């Protein structure tokens, strides 16, 4: 029985840079409680984190590391630490983007995943694929994001590794390639066999929460010396299972992984720091470097000279004293320098980025340059919106950051009518963050909010109350679905809007939206008006 063939890399697809710093920009997708926080913390610690994020539960010593940044947060009155976390390993900088923990599919999550080049999927060994993992996976699939799987908590009783592998393959319709294999689980756990490096990682006798065990090299699963490292039962099981697994599942194939068709599977325990080093090694060796990004005029290559990037997230200030917000830009090409002027094509204006927040910097305040794959936080007063391009090359307009047609439409009712101004401001802010969409009907004065999931409504109500002190209620609206409408014929569009004034609203950019009671009604109007385009997504280009 040999190990896995390592001769699989196709450097061109991995897009490794020459002459500029290398990055891995990724997200972790998982169901709540699978261990995302614990794994994040271990990755940060292991990789010599440049800073620790506020959201990650800081324990003991780690607490100190985040304090400097917290001060900056307080001075600026912003809260950004949890959004991007950065660590370094062997000359590669890793940018880990936090995916919001909403239960519903949210636009926010989708957009965050547009800014990554790959993802790590964390699965609880006792629970397998859960609903949220699956939803986030589907979002990744929409964009063929390559995924490395980490089966967590093997230190506890879990399900049989084969069962888990098959479940990933079946439920996600994804090929699975075993990269490591556990020797027992829970009470019978004796370590993890690295099928690539032919090493056995064994736990230490005492449990410090860090990996302090040993890693023993072998010539392969057949190496007779393995019998001295694990119990006869453990060895028999490893031989049988891992041998079978290597034959039963496909070998790792870089192209299939990069296309999002195959996931390499690692077993480990975030809590005991087992398999974390292998995961970082996998991200370093297998995951793609910053990839070319789609734009209206073809892809933009990271090696292109002109600096360009897109805004994938806007975070409004959590501190009611200040109304600053931070726009998060993924840098796609060029070498960004502090203070440089970039064109914002959606407004036709240029903005000077004087005080970017550079997450990868040892000392954020002194950092003054960034490279493709990096995330730059740009404090602003609402000029920058999700989907905006910022560029030195005026021809570039990034695509792929759509607004989604809402699936739930509600009328907003103010309990105290004197708070109209605050309500407008709050809805505007939250629309900007992608928490909701706001529509202004042609007839009537009530705003309509549109969301893609029920949870977003709850978030909205609670934020209105807590952050804006606005007591509002949502009422059912007569509409169930909405579509942006456009036409090559101005006259046709005008006529359509004229005859359906009670079902037409404008979004916050002033674009017309048609609201329908149900899909039947929508189809009816689509068929009746072939010159009108009804679209479920809208891009800001």
Closest distance between ligand G4P and the C-beta of residue 185, in Å?
11
- Judge contact between 32 and 133, C-beta under 8 A: no
Beta carbon nearer to ligand G4P, 34 or 43: 34
3-state secondary structure of 440: strand
Min dist CB 189 to ligand G4P, Å, is 10
- CB of residue 116 to ligand G4P, shortest distance in Å: 18
Residue 30 or residue 391: which is nearer to ligand G4P going by CB?
Answer: 30
Q: How far is the CB of 207 from ligand G4P (least distance, A)?
A: 11
Smallest distance, ligand G4P to C-beta of residue 154, A: 7
Tokens 């119990």 sit on residue: 231
Please, what is the minimum distance in Å from the beta carbon of residue 137 to ligand G4P? Answer: 15
DSSP string, 472-493: EEEEE-S-SEEEEEEES-HHHH
What is the secondary structure of 142-163 as a DSSP string?
Answer: HTT--EEEEEE-TTS----HHH
Positions in the binding site for ligand G4P (CB under 6 A) = 30, 32-38, 152-153, 155-156, 269-271
The SS3 of residue 400 is coil
- Please count the CA atoms within 13 angstroms of the CA of 357 that sit on its side-chain side: 24
Q: How far is the CB of 410 from ligand G4P (least distance, A)?
A: 29
d(CA 288, CA 291): 7
Residue where the block lists tokens 């036709």 = 348
One-character DSSP codes across 406-418: PSEEEEEEESSGG
**Euclidean distance between CA atoms 360 and 94, whole angstroms:** 8
Minimum CB–partner distance for residue 38 and ligand G4P (Å): 3
- Residue 212 CB, nearest distance to ligand G4P (Å)? 15
- By beta-carbon proximity to ligand G4P, the closer residue of 271 and 536 is 271
DSSP state at residue 498: H
**Nearest CA to 336 among 314, 356, 350, 351?**
356
Nearest-angstrom CA–CA distance, 264 and 53:
27
CB of 268 or CB of 512, closer to ligand G4P:
268
**Closer to ligand G4P by Cβ: residue 152 or 456:** 152
- Nearest distance in Å: CB 29, ligand G4P: 10
Q: Smaller CB distance to ligand G4P: residue 159 or 424?
A: 159
Nearer to ligand G4P (CB atom), residue 30 or residue 118: 30
Report residue 379 as tokens: 């404090």
38/389 with CB nearer ligand G4P? 38
Q: What is the smallest separation between the CB atom of 232 and ligand G4P, expressed in angstroms?
A: 26
Q: Which residues pair with 123 in a beta bridge?
A: 151
Q: Which is nearer to ligand G4P, 61 or 527 (CB)?
A: 61
Whichever of 269 and 477 has its CB closer to ligand G4P, that residue is 269
Calpha distance 417→470 (Å, rounded): 10
Considering beta carbons, is residue 130 or 526 the nearer one to ligand G4P?
130
Alpha-carbon gap, residue 502 to 520, rounded angstroms: 18
Instruction: Find the shortest distance in angstroms from Cβ 234 to ligand G4P.
Output: 19
Whichever of 271 and 541 has its CB closer to ligand G4P, that residue is 271
Q: 367, 72 in Cβ contact below 8 A?
A: no
Give the dihedral of Cα atoms 86, 88, 89, 91; nearest 10 deg.
130
**Which residue intervals of 199-293 are DSSP H helices?**
226-229, 232-248, 254-258, 276-285
Q: Considering beta carbons, is residue 158 or 345 the nearer one to ligand G4P?
A: 158
- The DSSP code sequence of 286-328 is TSPPSPPB-BTTS-B-TT-SS-EEEEEEEEE-S-TT---EEEE
- Where is 54: in which H helix or E strand? none
Q: Which residues contact 457 (CB under 8 A, 6 or more apart)?
A: 408, 410, 449, 451, 474
Among 186, 184, 152, residue whose Cα is nearest residue 267? 152
| Spatial distance between the Cα atoms of 211 and 414, rounded to a whole number of angstroms | 55
Helical (H) or strand (E) element with 262? strand 262-267
CB of 53 to ligand G4P, least distance (A): 12
């Amino acid at each position: 029985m040999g190990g896995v063939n390592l001769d699989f890399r196709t450097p061109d697809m991995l897009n490794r840079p020459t002459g500029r710093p290398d990055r891995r920009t990724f997200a972790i997708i998982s169901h709540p409680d699978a261990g995302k926080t614990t794994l994040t913390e271990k990755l940060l610690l292991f990789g010599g984190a440049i800073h620790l994020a506020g959201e990650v539960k800081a324990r003991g010593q780690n607490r100190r590391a985040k304090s400097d940044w917290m001060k900056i947060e307080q001075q600026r009155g912003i809260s950004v630490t949890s959004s991007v976390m950065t660590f370094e390993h062997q000359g590669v900088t890793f940018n880990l983007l936090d995916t919001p923990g909403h239960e519903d599919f949210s636009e926010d999550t989708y957009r965050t995943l547009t800014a990554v080049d790959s993802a790590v999927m964390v699965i609880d060994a006792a629970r397998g694929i859960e609903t949220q993992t699956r939803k986030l996976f589907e979002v990744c699939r929409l964009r063929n994001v390559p995924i490395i799987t980490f089966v967590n908590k093997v230190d506890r009783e879990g399900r049989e590794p084969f069962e888990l592998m098959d479940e990933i393959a079946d439920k996600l319709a994804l090929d699975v390639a075993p990269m490591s294999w556990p020797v027992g689980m829970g009470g019978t756990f004796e370590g993890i066999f690295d099928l690539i490096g032919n090493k056995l990682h064994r736990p230490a006798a005492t449990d410090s929460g860090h990996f302090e065990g040993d890693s023993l090299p072998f010539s392969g699963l057949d190496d007779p010396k393995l019998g001295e490292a694990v119990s006869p039962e453990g060895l028999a099981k490893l031989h049988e299972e891992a041998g079978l697994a290597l034959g039963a599942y496909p070998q790792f194939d870089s192209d299939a992984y990069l296309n999002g068709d195959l996931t390499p599977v690692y077993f480990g325990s975030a809590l005991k720091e087992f398999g974390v080093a292998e995961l970082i090694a996998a991200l370093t060796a297998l995951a793609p470097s910053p990839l070319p990004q789609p734009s209206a005029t073809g892809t933009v290559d990271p090696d292109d000279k002109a600096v360009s990037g897109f805004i994938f997230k806007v975070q409004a200030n959590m501190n009611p004293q200040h109304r600053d917000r931070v726009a998060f830009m993924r840098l796609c090409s060029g070498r960004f320098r502090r203070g440089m002027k970039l064109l914002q094509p959606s407004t036709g204006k240029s903005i000077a980025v004087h005080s970017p927040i550079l997450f990868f910097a040892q000392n954020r305040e002194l950092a003054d340059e960034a490279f493709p794959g990096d995330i730059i936080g740009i404090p602003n007063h609402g000029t920058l919106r999700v989907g905006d391009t910022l560029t030195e090359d005026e021809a570039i307009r990034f695509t792929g950051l759509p607004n989604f047609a809402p699936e739930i439409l509600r009328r907003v009712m103010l309990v105290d009518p004197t708070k109209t101004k605050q309500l407008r401001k709050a809805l505007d802010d939250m629309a900007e963050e992608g928490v909701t969409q706001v529509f202004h009907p042609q007839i009537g004065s009530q705003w309509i909010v549109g969301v893609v999931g029920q949870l977003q409504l709850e978030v909205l109500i609670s934020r209105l109350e807590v952050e804006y002190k606005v007591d509002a209620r949502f009422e059912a609206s007569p509409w169930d679905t909405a579509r942006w409408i456009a036409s090559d014929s101005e006259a046709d569009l005008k006529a359509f809007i004229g005859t359906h004034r009670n079902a037409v609203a404008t979004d916050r950019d002033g674009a017309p939206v048609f609201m329908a009671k149900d899909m039947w009604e929508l189809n009816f109007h689509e068929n009746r008006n072939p010159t009108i385009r009804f679209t479920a997504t809208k891009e800001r280009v």
